[in-house]
Amino acid sequence: MRSSVIAVLVTLAMLCLASVSRAAHLDTSFVFSTIETANFSVHYHQGLEPVARKAAAIAEEVHDSLGNQFGWRPVEKTQLVLIDNSDFTNGLTTALPYNSILIQVVPPALDSTIGEYDDWLKVLITHEYTHIVNLDPSRGFWRTTRSIFGKSIPGADPFSELVFFLSAPPNIFLPRWWHEGMATWAETEFNGQGRGTSSYYDMVFRMAVAQNRLPRVDQINGDVPFWPSGNLRYLYGYRFQKFLADRYGKDALGVLNLSHAGRFPYFINGAPEQFFGKSYDRLYNDMLLELRAEQQKKIAKLSQKPFTPTLILSDRGERLTNPRFSPDGSRLAYTRRDPHDHTTVVVTDRTGANQVAEFRRLPSDGNLSWSPDGSKLYFTQAEINRGFDVYQDLYEYGIAEDRITRLTRGERLSGVDASPDGSRFVAVASNRGSQNLVLLERDLKPRQLTRYSDQRVSNPRWSPDGSSVCYALRDNAGHSSLHLFRVATGEDSTLFSAPFSVDQPSWSRDGSFIVYVSDETGVFNLFAFRLADRQSYQVSHLLGGALQPGLAPDGKAAVFSSYESRGFRIAQLAFDPGNFSTERGPSLPLTRKLPVEQAGPATGAPVNQQQATAPAAPGGATRAPSAAAAAAVATTSEPALPAVTGAPYRAWPTLLPHFWLPRLTGDGSDSPVLGVFTAGADVLGYQSYALSADYSFGRERGYFDLIYRNDYFYPTYTLLGHVQPVLYGNLQQRGDYWELDQGFTAQVSYPINFLESRYLLTGGYQFEDQSALTGLSPSGRFNGLNVFQGRRTNLFAGLIIDNALSYPYSISPEEGRTVDLTYRRFDRAFGGDLDYSQLEARYQEYLKLPFGSERHQVLYLRLSGGIADLSQRYAQQAFQIGGVPSDLNPYPVRGYPSRSQTGKFVATGTAEYRAPLFYPMAGPGTGPVFAEKLHGALFVDAGEVWDDQNHFDTDRLKVGIGAEARLDLTLGYWLKVTPALGVAHGFRAGGENQVYLTIYVNL
């Protein structure tokens, strides 16, 4: 049917957009400019000019170093997009159909895996450009086919998909642990500090060894839901690449990369066997042995001194963070991220045993702050702003009322802390790659207190008397510092600076100590800085690590987020200044390349430009950096910036076609239909298209299909044009019917986006002209069926609502609903041959079942219906029921033949019980198959189709029951599908016993 053709075209367009433009929908206030360098086009919007100039210089430097390392320099320029549309750091890269990188310019937080760095922008660019150098190469046969076809994205027919496999750069088919591991190795190798030398990574490896939870190689191939889930490919991919570089030389990584670039996709083990005599499976196991031995030595060293006794207060969930005592010390609040459920904020009694309250929280920094009377919690969380930006704002939760109230909009806040008297807030505001301290008073309008550029400001905390704020600062030379900002005078002084991580301060109730987190000992531990004598003391000595400390109001205990191999738990330890000592516990060596003597003061200045005091090192020794150290910092932290200004962004250099693929299809004639396919999008996603052109030798005529989408504005404008053969397979069990379909569609789409719900309004005009390609009888009938020929022109409008949610362990959405309504008015006044209205509606509900011990049981309900008040019945226009659910079969009834009956009215419904059976989480080593979840479904389908001659009758209602076994698979390391084996029985006339195999996508 024609709808299937449109669906394929839309899918192609979305593939194109996903492959090329990582910012397909942009804040319409962004105005982009471009800086051209020898090897990059750097695109940025207003406010990012300094960041763009720095990024251009870094990118050229990285291009040279990575080109030398991997022996490959892309011929084409790489498109580098810098955008400030999120409060969460991220980078995305693709090499199809051209090389492009997107970086969201916000400094990463310490408790993220990339929170330890010397220069965060350089680390990100190094990581992402390594993907380009790894993805781009082609050798031998693939270099020849690439020179012919370009770097394509997949086509829609099997033949073009085959050519795609034979022409695309082979390395795009490598496992994700290869890509992310190599990029993480490079970011570490070519920077003073990357993830590979971070205390966070070492913490994860150490506890995995200590608690015997090292993953198999197949588990870093797939998407496992358990900790550290998506980070596995980064963590163990990095260790794997480091192992290869250390054992066989750094050049081995480039040799392997180029070797894969000339091999058939998925036959990856031939490359290492060629050079090292071992497969990746064996090499990975060798790496684990080495990692285990290395970490066991570290564990033994740390164990030389007894570890600090701790008490676990809460361990339900996977990432429990930011614990905070209420002002009276009677309650405890923390953020809980759970792969089985929604992220929540939990309030318990002081012991953590008895829950007082719980509420849902959207993506956030995790921080919490109590009101002075303990009746409210203040926090930040993200939501969509200006249609597409993901920014955090301030919210409050009233515990007694169990109600959340939003307090600000679009202010981009994090780390909010309420003052001791509750009259104002201090927070961090992000803007254009920089973060600064802000004050919010009664009007809740942020007033900027500092003017740092391109640096991370984090975790401000009010002093108990409300006069000062302590906050952490990290510069771009690998140094961290604690600052004290006096609100009344604007004086900003540095308490101390260090060449390691220092963050997350928390005051003692009497204001004499500031407890903070540092990896000074190579492990994240708690330290206390006494302001009276400027001495720093180690409070904890842990095997895992401690983050986000909070002191009890009575000053006798500290709570914190404690790491173990299954994630973070809420723990407590005794806080007794009387036992403090400046002596450090057993330490692990920091493996960063930044020498200690390079430590210098943090750059930047408070708004009033007052002079900061000289930094004091932990331990109390006040010191100033040497001239040589300051010079070293200056030369290592800032590359030479190009003296160029940006030109207005132009779409056409990236919009023009970069590839073509041959097509081989059919139109019911005895000869093949040959054609070509291409697609494209500019790097910002403002314009995109997909085009196919075919010629039928049997019918001696041409066909084409075009979809064009414009996202310069809000809403989106889409144009579709087509002259295509359309197959109605076994039309009403009378044989295959081919039709020539010609027409065009003009559509407007208006998305209304929220993080957990989406609304889409559509409307437009569609012209279609249908004529038979298959021979008809003299009366114009096809095997006795009355088929329509003529124009079907209509105006249409649609609404889609989707707030269905699923979680890492879910087998399908398990709460929420989707609603899809489409209305079409066919009218001769619009240029058509028919006058009628058509309405289709679909409602799907997902209900989480509370009974039983097994989580993720779901009751799925679906109601679908359609009305077409066409006076004359045609085979193509009739609604059809029967068969297995799919995108092309909106009215399924299992237990009955597909499309077995038709009519002008249709109604179907499904009730389905879904339950997990087993979580294999396994695959054949490094092979491109990974089995995630085995689950089953018991279903009842019912439906009927009728018209004016055959009225609705419950006696004819078709009812089918059955069961399906489903297996969630990842194929080719990337493609997620759910093959299902089903049995069904139809109880009424026309029903049958069915055993079938189908494949679901996005079940």
Q: Tally helices (H) and strands (E) across the chain.
A: 14, 51
- The C-alpha atoms of residue 597 and residue 497 are separated, in whole angstroms, by 12
437 close to 485: Cβ distance less than 8 angstroms: yes
User: How would DSSP label each residue in 627-690?
Assistant: HHHHHHHHHHH-PPPP---PEEP-SHHHHS--B-EEEEE--SSSS-EEEEEEEEE-TTSSEEEE
Model confidence pLDDT, tens digit, residues 638-659: 555 656 678 999 999 999 999 9
- The C-alpha atoms of residue 252 and residue 457 are separated, in whole angstroms, by 40
Q: Return the DSSP state at 602.
A: P
Q: What angle do CA 379, 385, 390 make, to 5 degrees?
A: 65
Model confidence pLDDT, tens digit, residues 176-230: 999 999 999 999 999 988 999 999 999 999 999 999 999 999 999 888 999 999 9
- The C-alpha atoms of residue 528 and residue 308 are separated, in whole angstroms, by 15
Model confidence pLDDT, tens digit, residues 347-357: 999 999 999 99
Going by pLDDT thresholds of 50, 70 and 90, the confidence category of residue 256 is very high
| pLDDT score recorded for residue 640 | 58
- Which domains are present in the chain? 26-301 (1.10.390.10), 311-585+600-606 (2.120.10.30)
- Single-letter amino acid, residue 348: T
Question: What's the whole-number average pLDDT of the chain?
Answer: 90
Three-state DSSP state, 105: coil
Q: Is 647 exposed, middle or buried (0-12, 13-18, 19+ CB in 10 A)?
A: exposed
Q: Return the DSSP state at 596.
A: G
- The C-alpha atoms of residue 323 and residue 958 are separated, in whole angstroms, by 56
User: Residue range 702-707: average pLDDT?
Assistant: 96
Going by pLDDT thresholds of 50, 70 and 90, the confidence category of residue 580 is confident
455 pLDDT exceeds 60? yes
List the single range of 491-495, 510-514, 629-633, 725-729 with lowest mean pLDDT: 629-633
Q: How many CB atoms lie within 10 A of CB 17?
A: 21
Q: State both tokens at 862.
A: 């679906």
Distances (CA, A) of 519 to 191, 202, 499, 527, 584: 19, 11, 10, 10, 12
| pLDDT score recorded for residue 589 | 81
| pLDDT score recorded for residue 723 | 96
Going by pLDDT thresholds of 50, 70 and 90, the confidence category of residue 873 is confident
C-alpha atoms less than 13 angstroms from C-alpha of 711 in its C-beta half-sphere: 24
| pLDDT score recorded for residue 714 | 87
More confident residue, 456 or 952: 456
User: Residue range 285-311: average pLDDT?
Assistant: 97
Read off φ and ψ for residue 412, nearest 5 degrees: 60, 60
Residue 888: partners with Cβ closer than 8 Å, 6 or more residues away = 1, 3, 4, 7
Among 218, 285, 216, 277, CA closest to 248:
277
481 pLDDT exceeds 80? yes
Read off φ and ψ for residue 556, nearest 5 degrees: -100, -10
605 pLDDT exceeds 70? no
Q: State both tokens at 1002.
A: 């996005």
Q: State both tokens at 725.
A: 């053969």
pTM for the whole thing? 0.92
Q: Is 896 exposed, middle or buried (0-12, 13-18, 19+ CB in 10 A)?
A: buried
Q: How many CB atoms lie within 10 A of CB 600?
A: 24
Model confidence pLDDT, tens digit, residues 92-147: 999 999 999 999 999 999 988 899 999 999 999 999 999 999 999 999 999 999 99
User: How would DSSP label each residue in 130-177?
Assistant: HHHHHHS---THHHHHHHHHBS----SSHHHHHHHHHHS-GGGGS-HH
Q: State both tokens at 430.
A: 């992000």
Task: Please name every residue paired with 40 in a beta bridge, in sequence order, or none if there are none.
Answer: 78
Among 189, 175, 221, CA closest to 70:
189
622 pLDDT exceeds 80? no
337 pLDDT exceeds 70? yes
Model confidence pLDDT, tens digit, residues 191-205: 988 999 999 999 999
- The C-alpha atoms of residue 302 and residue 368 are separated, in whole angstroms, by 32
- Of all residues in the chain, the percent with pLDDT exceeding 70 is 92
351 close to 313: Cβ distance less than 8 angstroms: yes
Model confidence pLDDT, tens digit, residues 606-615: 333 232 333 3
Among 806, 811, 668, CA closest to 741:
668
Model confidence pLDDT, tens digit, residues 810-856: 999 999 999 999 999 999 999 899 899 999 999 999 999 988 778 99
Q: How many CB atoms lie within 10 A of CB 519?
A: 25
